[in-house]
Structure 1
Amino acid sequence: MANLLYLVHRLPYPPNKGDKVRSYHLLRHLQKEHRVFLGTFIDDPADEEHLPALKAMCPDLHVARLHPLWARLRSLGGLIQHGPLTLAYYRNAALHEWVRQTAAMHGISASVVFSSAMVPYAMPLVPRVPMLVDFVDVDSAKWSQYAQQRRWPLSWVYAREGRELLAYERMAAQRAQRSFFVTPQETDLFLRLAPEAQGRVQAVGNGVDADFFRPQPSTPRPFAPGETAVVFTGAMDYWPNVDAVSWFVADMLPALRQRHPGLRFYIVGRSPTPAVQALAGEGVVVTGTVADVRPYLQHASAVVAPLRVARGIQNKILEAMAMGRPVVTVPACAEVIGASADDGLLRASDPAATVDAVDQLLRDPLGAALRGEMARRFVLNHFSWQAQLAAMDASLNAVLQPEKRHA
C-alpha cells in the first residue's frame, strides 16, 4: 500500500454528474490498494451536506471552498497575463499549502491529478513525486469549439483560452509519467495537437454502475397518465447541455408534437439556467434537481442526447442504456461509445433525422423495448468501472516499483 495524493477540481461526491461520476469511481478504485489523500474544491453550496459522507469515505481530506463569481473575476484578471484563465479560476493558496505539508509529512509516493486545472498543485512535487494526469477530455479543444459558437468578445476570450490551455496541457503531459483521456478519439486528438506526447498518453474509458442503474419494475412512473415523455438528463448549468435542449425544443420538438400531440419533453437535471427555465411550457417540463433520475429514464418513451458541443463519453447516455432505454444521439457521441442501432443507440445527424428516430421508437414500443434490452446488455459487456479503471493500474504500479524495490 502506497500513500497517494489525489487532486480533483470538484467534490467527487455524490456521483451525480459527468465529471463527478468518473472522479468518484477513480477515488474508490485507488482506495482498494492505497491510502488516498484527497484535495478538492467545493463549488456548489448544495454539496456541503455531503461532506460528512465523503469524510467518512476518505478521512484524509482537504476541501477548498470556491465561490464561482469571485473565481470568474479572478480568472478574468488573468487576461492581462499569459496563461490559461482556468488555472486562475482554481488558484487557492490554502490548497497549495495543504499539498506541500501532506507531501512532507506522509511520504507521498505518487500524485493522481484529475483535470488540467489541478496540475499546478502537483507540479512543484515533480519529479520527486511522480505525477499521473487524468485529463479526461482535451479541454483546450472544448474552449476552441466554444469560440466558434459565440460572438465577440466571448469568441476571442474562448479562443485565447483554447490556445493558452493547450500550451499548458502539452507541458503537463511532458512532465507527467502518464496521461489519460476518456476515449481513443480524445487521445488521438491530443496527439495531433501535441505530437511530442506520443507514447506517453492512453485512453481509459468511463463506466457505469449497472447495479444502480437497472430497471426496477416497482418504480413509480413520474409522468402524467397516458403522457408520452421524451427525456434529457444532465447538469443544466453546463453550456453544452443548455445548447442541446434549446436546439431540441426549437428545431425538433414542434415536429414531434405534430405527430404525437400528447408528447412532453422533460429536461431533468440540477441548476437549470434562466435560458433553460424559459423553455418550460405546455410541451416542456423543466424539473430542476430530482431526488433520483432513474424513474425518469426507466419510464421515458424515448431518451435523447442531441449534443452539438460534446467531448468524450457521455455518462447520461450510458446511464440511460443501463436503465434499458434506447437513446437517440448525434453521431459524435455514438462513435465514442461504439454502439450501433442494434445495440440501442440510434444516430441522428440533424433535426429531421432526430425527429424520425424518436418517432420510430414512439410508434413501435415493442421494438423500442427490445432495443432497450440490447442497450443494457451492451453496457454490461463493455462498460464496467472496474474493467475501465484497471487500465490505470499498470502505469501507477510502474511509478511505485522503484519505491517497492528500496523498501
Structure 2
Amino acid sequence: MKLLYITESVPNRDPMLGDGSSMIPFEVLRNLPGEVAVTLLTFAGPVDVPAEIRSRCNAVHVMPTRSRAWATVLSVFGLTGLGKHERSTAKAMAIAAQLSGQHDATLIHGPHALFLANAVSGPLVLQTVDPWSVRAAMDTAIARTLRPAYRAREFLALLAERRLPPRARLLTVGAADARTWSERLARPVRSVPNGAEESVRDAARQNGPVACFVGSLNYGPNIDSANVLIRKIAPLVWQQVPDARFVLAGRRPEASVQALAGPRVEVLANVPSVLAVFHSADVAVFPDEHGVGIRNSVREALAAGLPVVATPVAAREQDPHPLLAVEQDTEGFVDQVVRRLTAPGRHRPSPGGGSVRTWRAVAEDYLDEVGSAIRSGSAGLPSGKSPA
C-alpha cells in the first residue's frame, strides 16, 4: 500500500514543543508495518523531522507556513482558525493534490490540516484529536466572559466540519467525542483511542511520599486541575500526611502553575520523559473538572504500574484497572490519595496488573480505516481498475 500521510505538525515527541497532534502520528509512523510505503507531507515548525521518522518514510515534504501576522489577518477576516491560515498556502494545496493522485489513500491528521481534504483525490481518512466543534463547545461551557463570541466560534467550527468531503472516513480519539461529532454531522465517526507502552515501575527514589500530576501545563483544563490539586486537595492531604510532596510535571507551565511551587510542591517543566516522573512517585492524581477526549496521562501512569486517583472526568473512557480509583467527592478523593501515600510497601515496584492498549494496536486501527476507505473507493470502479 502507498499511503500519503499529511500531518498539521511535524511528528515528534519533543518534551517542550510536542503535543497530542504531533505525538500520535509519531507513534503511528513508528508502528505501521513495513509493507506500507509512506510519503509524509507536513508543515514547518519549531521541531525538525526526527531521523527515525525520515528513515521510516519513502519521502518527506515539509511545507513552509505563512507568517503569523499575515495568518492573523486572514483569520480575523476569514472567521476561521489561525493554525489553518498559517498552513493553507497555494503550494501546500498543490502538492497535496499532486501527491494524493500518486498514492492508494490519504490520511490527514489534525484539525489545522483538514482544509486539505477538499484538495486531495482518492480514498481519504481524516483524524482529529479533538473535533473543532466539540472543543469549542467545551470552551463555551467554561468561558467566564464573552460567551456570545465563544458560541459564534463553535457555530463556525461546526459549519466548516459539515463541509468535509462525504467520502472521507472520520476519526477522533474519544468515544464520547465520536458520538457527539457523529450526531452533529449526521455521519459516522470512529473512535481510535491512543496507546501507551507498559514499563516496570522502579522503587520510588524520594525519601518521602510523592503524588504527581502530569499534563500539558499551558492547557486550560490542566491549569485548572493543577490549581484544584494544590489549593484544594493538597491541604487536606497534608493534614494527614504532612511530609507529602506534590510534583506537577508537563510542558510549558503557565505563570499561574509556576506560582504553585513551594517547599512541598515542585513544578517540573518540559520533562524529557514522564516515565521518570511516574517511576519516582507513589500515586498519580488527576482532579479534573472538565476536558474532552481521553486523558492519555492516566493511561500512561497505569501502564507504568503507578496507582492513579482520578475524578470521573479525568478517568473518562478508561477501561477498569486494578490500579485506578475513581472518586468524584472531594473527601473520598483525598482518602484515596492518602491511602496510597501511606500504604505499606508503597516503594516496591508495582506490576501493571491490567492490559494496556499499545501504539501498535493504534496503528493497526488506522490502517484498517485506510483499507476500508480504499475498498469503498474501489466499489464503484470498473472491473480491473485500482484506486491508485
The answer as to whether partners of 2:209 and 2:342 remain within 8 angstroms in 1 is: no
Q: How many residues align?
A: 378
Note if 1:304 corresponds to 2:293: no
Note if 1:294 corresponds to 2:275: yes
Partner secondary structure for residue 267 of structure 1: strand
Specify which of 133, 145, 159 is matched with residue 151 of structure 2: 159
Q: Distance in 2 between matches of 1:89 and 1:356?
A: 48
Q: Residues 190 and 180 of structure 1: is their aligned pair in 2 closer, same or farther, counting only changes over 3 Å?
A: same
Specify which of 30, 37, 40 is matched with residue 39 of structure 2: 37
Note if 1:357 corresponds to 2:357: no
Q: Residues 56 and 391 of structure 1: is their aligned pair in 2 closer, same or farther, counting only changes over 3 Å?
A: closer
Q: Which range moved further: 54-63 or 89-98?
A: 89-98
Superposed CA offset, 1:26-82 (max 9, x none): 223445332212122354x3x34x644432333522234669xx5487346534434
**Identity rate, percent:** 23
Note if 1:277 corresponds to 2:258: yes
Partner secondary structure for residue 377 of structure 1: coil
- Give the residue type in structure 1 aligned to 2:160: Y
Gapped regions of structure 2 (runs ≥ 5): none
Q: Distance in 2 between matches of 1:85 and 1:289?
A: 25
- Give the residue type in structure 2 aligned to 1:143: A
Please report how far the alpha carbon of residue 285 of structure 1 lies from its aligned counterpart in structure 2 after TM superposition: 0.7
Corresponding residue of 2:133? 140
Partner secondary structure for residue 379 of structure 1: coil
Q: Distance in 2 between matches of 1:131 and 1:151?
A: 39
Note if 1:321 corresponds to 2:289: no
The answer as to whether partners of 1:71 and 1:90 remain within 8 angstroms in 2 is: no
Specify which of 192, 197, 206 is matched with residue 204 of structure 1: 192
Q: Calculate the TM-score normalised by the size of structure 1.
A: 0.82
Q: Which range moved further: 351-360 or 56-65?
A: 56-65
Specify which of 110, 122, 131 is matched with residue 115 of structure 1: 110
Partner secondary structure for residue 378 of structure 1: coil
Please report how far the alpha carbon of residue 86 of structure 1 lies from its aligned counterpart in structure 2 after TM superposition: 5.0
Q: Residues 170 and 150 of structure 1: is their aligned pair in 2 closer, same or farther, counting only changes over 3 Å?
A: same
- Give the residue type in structure 1 aligned to 2:171: F
The answer as to whether partners of 1:294 and 1:323 remain within 8 angstroms in 2 is: yes
Quote the RMSD (CA, aligned, Å). 2.9
Please report how far the alpha carbon of residue 251 of structure 1 lies from its aligned counterpart in structure 2 after TM superposition: 1.3
Q: Calculate the TM-score normalised by the size of structure 2.
A: 0.86
- Give the residue type in structure 1 aligned to 2:38: V
Please report how far the alpha carbon of residue 309 of structure 1 lies from its aligned counterpart in structure 2 after TM superposition: 2.6
Note if 1:191 corresponds to 2:182: yes
Q: Distance in 2 between matches of 1:65 and 1:227?
A: 49
Q: Distance in 2 between matches of 1:328 and 1:263?
A: 15
**Counterparts in 2 of 1:47-196, with a 5 A limit?**
47-48=47-48, 51-64=50-63, 71=68, 74-75=71-72, 77-103=74-100, 107-125=102-120, 128-153=121-146, 155-172=147-164, 174-194=165-185, 196=186
Considering fraction of residues, name the structure with more helix: 1
Please report how far the alpha carbon of residue 116 of structure 1 lies from its aligned counterpart in structure 2 after TM superposition: 2.6
Please report how far the alpha carbon of residue 317 of structure 1 lies from its aligned counterpart in structure 2 after TM superposition: 0.9
Specify which of 304, 309, 325 is matched with residue 346 of structure 1: 325
Q: Residues 133 and 189 of structure 1: is their aligned pair in 2 closer, same or farther, counting only changes over 3 Å?
A: same
Q: Which range moved further: 10-19 or 309-318?
A: 10-19
- Give the residue type in structure 2 aligned to 1:117: H
Q: Distance in 2 between matches of 1:301 and 1:176?
A: 48
- Give the residue type in structure 2 aligned to 1:41: F
Kindly indicate whether structure 1 or structure 2 has the higher relative contact order, using CA contacts under 8 Å at least 6 residues apart.
2
Corresponding residue of 1:378? 354
Gapped regions of structure 1 (runs ≥ 5): none
Q: Distance in 1 between matches of 2:117 and 2:354?
A: 37
Please report how far the alpha carbon of residue 84 of structure 1 lies from its aligned counterpart in structure 2 after TM superposition: 4.6
- Give the residue type in structure 2 aligned to 1:110: A
Please report how far the alpha carbon of residue 331 of structure 1 lies from its aligned counterpart in structure 2 after TM superposition: 0.6
Note if 1:398 corresponds to 2:372: yes
